[in-house]
Structure 1
């Protein structure tokens, strides 16, 4: 695995108005890594992601993507560099069909050994092929999550971010999402994942970061976190 970070955050602080949420976050994500971002509700996970993708301007600190500073960049510029997000709540467009979602956002990026074409996306999620002509608001919650992941992959991202990857999904659909993430990991997709199902996420992740009140309370390998179950109770409520 390449030791040079694809994403690097140093001294990252962010918030809303006078309210500070993040306090001096330092972390890296290297190419090909799957990193789990963990913590109880309200600890700063979604704010961290919003800051990484340009939805919120940091108050202090820097974010480097492939060595380029992006902490002052607009969200559309960050997306064009190769950062794609599967947002919490899926945010599928009600007036676009499944196929239109996947075609409208498609982008080819240099260096993609096997780009995500429409055919490959349908192969990853056959249910989307069956529902290709259905509007976004005609899909079940699980189908919408598959569509949100496929839409992000259609941009052939260098960094894929999933905020609450399996929240609110039936167990059988959660298993389908875990299968997808395992396949992406095997293909070398660099990924940052937020999810509360730690037992399922740790076997997929190379490393984990735990947020506690806007600070990194612990970070290390997934194996190390798996061996320290007291951290699960202390920081994750598991």
Structure 2
């Protein structure tokens, strides 16, 4: 008898995930998973539950029902810092760079190899990914442009060598030339085998980068599928994304 080959176990798995704020429920039973080396997007109009999903995954919002498993452990109910130490890193909406730390201090202060990579993201590799940061390495966080702060936020997250990198609206408010720099970075990360969860609105670029997509509608998964499937059905774009 020939044994059936199975793919790698999911790095992240959500089952029946429910969450909300106070008396308001936002997420209604989300089921999805991300396998190692995969790039997955969460897409949807504003207010559909994307940021709430992210906050719940990273431990910033309590799980009301359901489970979240990450890196072989149930993390539902764990503190955010404990989840981060397991190898989940976020590039938060709004960047949140420290105004009184230099670029280099940002990248040194959080450096770790949480996923045990043979070729970790060292300071020099990060500067190679974002040469502009090397030029600005002695500048404080509040002396950087918005685009430079976004590059720094991504590099800071990568300095921990996470198992899962989450980008929450990483291109929001950026000039087109800087957005292109972020897309280039995501392409490099995909080639390097980094597992990534992306929340963004530029679906036309994401279908060229990501493996799979989830469309959220009022806290529920309205559709999920591959880039080829999403690219082929532009009706989904109009129905759920307003594109």
Asked if residue 154 in structure 1 is aligned to residue 159 in structure 2, the reply is yes
- Distance in 1 (CA, whole Å) between partners of 2:22 and 2:7 is 38
Q: Retained in 2: the 8 A contact 1:33–1:191?
A: yes
**Structure 1 unaligned residues grouped into runs of 5+:** none
- Distance in 1 (CA, whole Å) between partners of 2:131 and 2:220 is 40
Structure 1 residue ranges, 4+ long, deviating more than 3 angstroms after superposition: none
Which of 85, 89, 92 pairs up with 1:87?
92
- RMSD in angstroms over aligned alpha carbons? 1.0
Q: Secondary structure at the match of 2:208?
A: coil
Q: Retained in 2: the 8 A contact 1:14–1:21?
A: yes
What's the TM-score, normalizing by structure 2?
A: 0.96
Q: Secondary structure at the match of 2:209?
A: coil
Q: Which residue of 2 aligns with 1:126?
A: 131
> Shift of the alpha carbon at 1:110?
4.9
Q: Secondary structure at the match of 1:200?
A: helix
Q: Which residue of 1 aligns with 2:111?
A: 106
Q: Retained in 1: the 8 A contact 2:87–2:115?
A: no
* Count of aligned pairs between the two proteins: 238
- Gap change, CA 1:43 and 1:156, over 3 Å in 2: same
Q: Retained in 1: the 8 A contact 2:103–2:152?
A: yes
Q: Which residue of 2 aligns with 1:137?
A: 142
> Shift of the alpha carbon at 1:109?
2.8
Asked if residue 194 in structure 1 is aligned to residue 199 in structure 2, the reply is yes
Q: Secondary structure at the match of 2:8?
A: coil
The equivalences for 1:48-87 within 5 A come to 48-87=53-92
Q: Which residue of 1 aligns with 2:213?
A: 208
- Distance in 2 (CA, whole Å) between partners of 1:235 and 1:97 is 41
- Distance in 1 (CA, whole Å) between partners of 2:7 and 2:143 is 42
